Structure 1
Amino acid sequence: MMTLLRQFAFARYHRFASRDQVQSWQNKQLERHLQWVCEHSPFYQSLRNQPLEAFPIMNKSLMMANLDAINTRGLKTDQLMSVALKAEQSRQFEQSVVNSVTVGLSSGTSGQRGLFLADSREKQLWAGNILGKLLPGLWQKHRIALALRANSPLYKAVAKGPIQFFYADLNQPHDVWIRALDRFQPTLLIGSAQALQFCAMYSGTFGERKMSPARLISGAEVLTPVDRALIEQTFAGELHEVYQCTEGFLACTDTQGQMRWNQDIVHIEKHWLNPEKTHYSPIITDFRRRTQPIIRYQLDDVIAAQHDDAPFEPLGAIAGRCGDCLRLGQDGAQTMVLPDLVYRAVTLAIEERVDYRITQTDTQCLTIEALPQIHERIRDAVLGVLQTLGAGTVRFEYAPPPDWHPMNKQRRVVNLCKF
């Protein structure tokens, strides 16, 4: 409990004077952390006393292939995966523990499911950071609700003192979990962008009083402008964002509404995705994670760059997955289209809220799923982007609106084309 309180106080009240001070502080954290990891993780033992840039770039497939050697508790991947899958299938998430280590499972959107490991100390650190950065106020009781795909003992670490905690199981029919949320009346509602849209559309329609959270937190999916507008128009509470995944609690909205990297938790390197350096995929090193070290882990996400002089660096937007960038044209003459360019174009072209998905199925073919009466308007918006980028001829196909389910990630731009 003391670890949670100390981390809460640091996350909420510690202030860095400048970005230089942040970098100097991070360098000390990294030096200490890398030394500890190299002493306790078989995978990294050969890198003792080496600088961060000497460590290999990690990704999900490498992590899963080497997790037995990477983790510092001698845990075996097969057993961890078995326990995590059993907990998810039974929805008994409190059983997702091996040798006092909490085991979480990613959604597998990228095609492979990853594991998240945290011991009791790391759970307290995570809870302290979450509460310190996200809790609206201190001198009141809070009812925190999670509308996510899977519960975890990790989340229940935040249920302390005057804080009530509720998990809405999205695997149930939406009328069941939304009615339960209406009964709970959360003051803080945390959910995927899609789950928050369902709440906006259906809260108060199943015989209970409509919920009215003071703050809503969107995470786990891209929050497009059209999704944000629906949620903000329905609920009077503040809408913030978090960048939280199996790799860590990476970023969140500050008090001015700007998304910033949690650089008191993670170190960020940038892998630039275009010559103009407008978008990058982040390479993260978490200097709090010891059970499952996260060192130079390159995420598949597209981040829109933004710049200012505040101590913590801003994010322009979480703009989709690298794997869902559209790549149109033949080899050698391909044009890459970033997902957020498509989101923005559709939002500007169509004032009202529209439900759509745009999928690349071939090197020169896009399928638009939407109501028939807006197919052409979406096509024209996308064509405007393609013409600006100098893409070649593209063929369009059409289908009815996508059938979303909160248990599956909502991706409005998808690339299914195998090159």
Structure 2
Amino acid sequence: MTDSIRSLTRAARRDARRDLRDGPAAIVRRQRAHLAEIVAYARENSAYYRELYRDLPDGVDDPALLPVTDKKLLMAHFDDWVTDRRVTREKVEAFVADPELVGARFQEDYLVATSSGTSGLRGLFLLDERNIAMSTVLASRTNGQLGVRDALRMLAHGLRTAAVTAPGGHFYTVAGMERFRRDHPRLSRIMRVFPIDQPLAAMVDGLNRYQPATLAGFLSSLTQLAGEQEAGRLRIRPSLVIPGGETLTPEARERLATAFHAKVRAAYAATECDFLSIGCAHGWYHVNADWVVVEPVDADGQPVLAGEPSHTVLISNLANRVQPFLRYDLGDSVLVRPDPCPCGNPLPALRVEGRAADMLTFPTRDGGHASISPMLFGTLLDRTPGIDRFQVVQTGPAEIRVRLEARQGADADVVWRAVRDEIAHLLTEHKADHVSVERAEEPPEQSRGGKVRRVVPLAPA
């Protein structure tokens, strides 16, 4: 870590504490200052942004003045987008093709992470030391929510973190943990990846021996482990459980908290901005608004009011300079809390309704269309007894295929009938009762990144 990054980290830790203490107005001031800094940096060092912003005034600190970007657009201009002239897409492609380089420093400075995303378009992302340092600094806000008892439990478990995630590859979680081990070999024992492609019994055995203080991973994987904990085969006592990758329903949160006797703090983040938010005990995501801008917008790109679900959300990562993500369309539908959160955190709070692209749309009998949020399916099936994992797949305009794994000891046929009845009731409520619901023989399928998308819409023709 360079002296400049150490200095930034020390200042950021001090500012992070002060911003929470001083309240929303101070957070907004800090955000605008950081936005002006990175916009100026992008215009000076990125050929893509220099052209994109050529008609903008100097000193822009209002995100609404900036054009919208997205993964497809930025990846198409990769070599002009990056601010380090040593970096080219060809070099990054060659780097990620070598599995031995996971977590290694690219050009001596950067962490490289790949992301396929729900669109199927692979992203090649570089995170600089500034971004990585900010991830550590802002993560301390989560730790600050733990009480003395939880902190002592974490110390008793040696601060060990278990990440249940993709099996290898340059995906962010794996690459980030490997980077930590490479940079801090003496501390490598406090972080361990548990690949989800290993047999469940082997994972349970490994976790029982490791006894993590923090358990993190995809929600679908952690839900499966909760079943093992409930059955008595998994016997761990983490202080903190961090589910990510999917929208956490209240039912799923309660199950994880009860099974592990732990605090559950869901993570809403992306490879493009891994420090986007921190979860609270009331189920809200508090945006680290001093270092990231979050703009919920409608289908026309106009701001939506607090309390209303957005069509998508635009984010601006104010720390990462090698690949500036500015007004970047993340694709999620979010709802911003219109009043202060009862947890007392002054950072703006939001909930994720799901990805706009994940909405399941069916023809109705009257010739119209019914769109159903993936969160509604998740809420229904999370509260259905006996389910270990599920995946709802729209296979046709009026067809749904449900992949189920029943919990050990549960009657799979009874579970299926309950699931079928719940989905049928939901479809009837949306005037789509003619949609067929089919039971699949195959289990839920994983993406290349290891995530099980619990709700999969009809693929475009």
Q: TM-score, normalised by structure 1?
A: 0.85
Equivalent pair of 1:123/1:154 in contact (CA under 8 Å):
no
Q: For residues 151-166 of structure 1, what are the structure 2 equivalents within 5 Å?
A: 151-153=174-176, 156-157=179-180, 165-166=190-191
- Offset of residue 410 of structure 1: 1.8
Amino acid of the structure 2 residue aligned with 1:19: P
Equivalent pair of 1:9/1:132 in contact (CA under 8 Å):
no
| 1:337 corresponds to | 372
* Aligned-partner SS, 1:126: helix
Deviations 1:56-111 (A, max 9, x none): 21112112111211110121112212312323xx5x52336234211111144321
Do the aligned partners of residues 374 and 391 (structure 1) sit closer, same or farther apart at CA in structure 2, a change above 3 Å counting? same
Match among 200, 208, 212 for residue 186 of structure 1: 212
Asked if 1:81 corresponds to 2:93, the answer is yes
> Gaps (5+ residues) in structure 1?
none
Asked if 1:39 corresponds to 2:50, the answer is no
- Offset of residue 305 of structure 1: 4.3
| 2:293 corresponds to | 267
Asked if 1:286 corresponds to 2:311, the answer is no
Deviations 1:213-263 (A, max 9, x none): 111111223334454344222211211111121111211113665321221
Amino acid of the structure 1 residue aligned with 2:285: M
Amino acid of the structure 1 residue aligned with 2:353: A
Deviations 1:102-138 (A, max 9, x none): 1111144321121221122332222222234346477
| 1:386 corresponds to | 427
Match among 314, 326, 337 for residue 306 of structure 1: 337
Amino acid of the structure 2 residue aligned with 1:362: G
Pick which of 355-364 and 286-295 moved more: 355-364
Equivalent pair of 1:127/1:157 in contact (CA under 8 Å):
no
Structure with greater proportional strand content? 1
Do the aligned partners of residues 401 and 306 (structure 1) sit closer, same or farther apart at CA in structure 2, a change above 3 Å counting? farther
Q: Percent identity?
A: 23
Amino acid of the structure 1 residue aligned with 2:460: K
* Aligned-partner SS, 1:168: strand
| 1:62 corresponds to | 73
* Aligned-partner SS, 1:216: strand
Do the aligned partners of residues 298 and 129 (structure 1) sit closer, same or farther apart at CA in structure 2, a change above 3 Å counting? same
| 2:409 corresponds to | none
Do the aligned partners of residues 342 and 304 (structure 1) sit closer, same or farther apart at CA in structure 2, a change above 3 Å counting? farther
Equivalent pair of 1:363/1:417 in contact (CA under 8 Å):
no
CA distance in structure 1 between the aligned counterparts of 2:211 and 2:350, rounded to whole angstroms: 31
CA distance in structure 2 between the aligned counterparts of 1:357 and 1:229, rounded to whole angstroms: 20
Match among 115, 118, 121 for residue 112 of structure 1: 121
Deviations 1:309-328 (A, max 9, x none): 35322123x33322221011
Do the aligned partners of residues 405 and 417 (structure 1) sit closer, same or farther apart at CA in structure 2, a change above 3 Å counting? closer
CA distance in structure 2 between the aligned counterparts of 1:336 and 1:4, rounded to whole angstroms: 45
Asked if 1:223 corresponds to 2:228, the answer is no
| 1:148 corresponds to | 165
- Offset of residue 266 of structure 1: 0.7
CA distance in structure 1 between the aligned counterparts of 2:17 and 2:280, rounded to whole angstroms: 11
Amino acid of the structure 1 residue aligned with 2:437: F
Amino acid of the structure 1 residue aligned with 2:455: V
- Offset of residue 360 of structure 1: 1.1
* Aligned-partner SS, 1:294: coil
Amino acid of the structure 2 residue aligned with 1:337: I
Amino acid of the structure 1 residue aligned with 2:159: H
CA distance in structure 1 between the aligned counterparts of 2:230 and 2:424, rounded to whole angstroms: 40
Pick which of 331-340 and 149-158 moved more: 149-158
* Aligned-partner SS, 1:15: helix
| 1:418 corresponds to | 460
| 2:408 corresponds to | none
Equivalent pair of 2:387/2:415 in contact (CA under 8 Å):
no
Equivalent pair of 1:57/1:297 in contact (CA under 8 Å):
yes
> Gaps (5+ residues) in structure 2?
1-5, 405-411
Equivalent pair of 1:96/1:104 in contact (CA under 8 Å):
no
| 1:402 corresponds to | 443
CA distance in structure 2 between the aligned counterparts of 1:227 and 1:65, rounded to whole angstroms: 38
Match among 124, 131, 145 for residue 140 of structure 2: 131
Equivalent pair of 2:309/2:353 in contact (CA under 8 Å):
no
Equivalent pair of 2:138/2:288 in contact (CA under 8 Å):
no
Pick which of 225-234 and 137-146 moved more: 137-146
* Aligned-partner SS, 2:32: helix
Do the aligned partners of residues 216 and 103 (structure 1) sit closer, same or farther apart at CA in structure 2, a change above 3 Å counting? same
CA distance in structure 2 between the aligned counterparts of 1:403 and 1:355, rounded to whole angstroms: 7
CA distance in structure 2 between the aligned counterparts of 1:148 and 1:13, rounded to whole angstroms: 34
Amino acid of the structure 2 residue aligned with 1:384: H
Deviations 1:380-399 (A, max 9, x none): 32333333334473222222
Do the aligned partners of residues 221 and 53 (structure 1) sit closer, same or farther apart at CA in structure 2, a change above 3 Å counting? same
Deviations 1:153-174 (A, max 9, x none): 4664498798953221415514
Equivalent pair of 2:19/2:27 in contact (CA under 8 Å):
no
* Aligned-partner SS, 2:98: helix
CA distance in structure 2 between the aligned counterparts of 1:380 and 1:32, rounded to whole angstroms: 54
* Aligned-partner SS, 2:269: strand
CA distance in structure 2 between the aligned counterparts of 1:225 and 1:401, rounded to whole angstroms: 27
CA distance in structure 2 between the aligned counterparts of 1:285 and 1:112, rounded to whole angstroms: 20
CA distance in structure 1 between the aligned counterparts of 2:445 and 2:334, rounded to whole angstroms: 24
Asked if 1:277 corresponds to 2:286, the answer is no
* Aligned-partner SS, 1:282: strand
CA distance in structure 1 between the aligned counterparts of 2:388 and 2:210, rounded to whole angstroms: 30
- Offset of residue 28 of structure 1: 2.3
Do the aligned partners of residues 185 and 36 (structure 1) sit closer, same or farther apart at CA in structure 2, a change above 3 Å counting? same
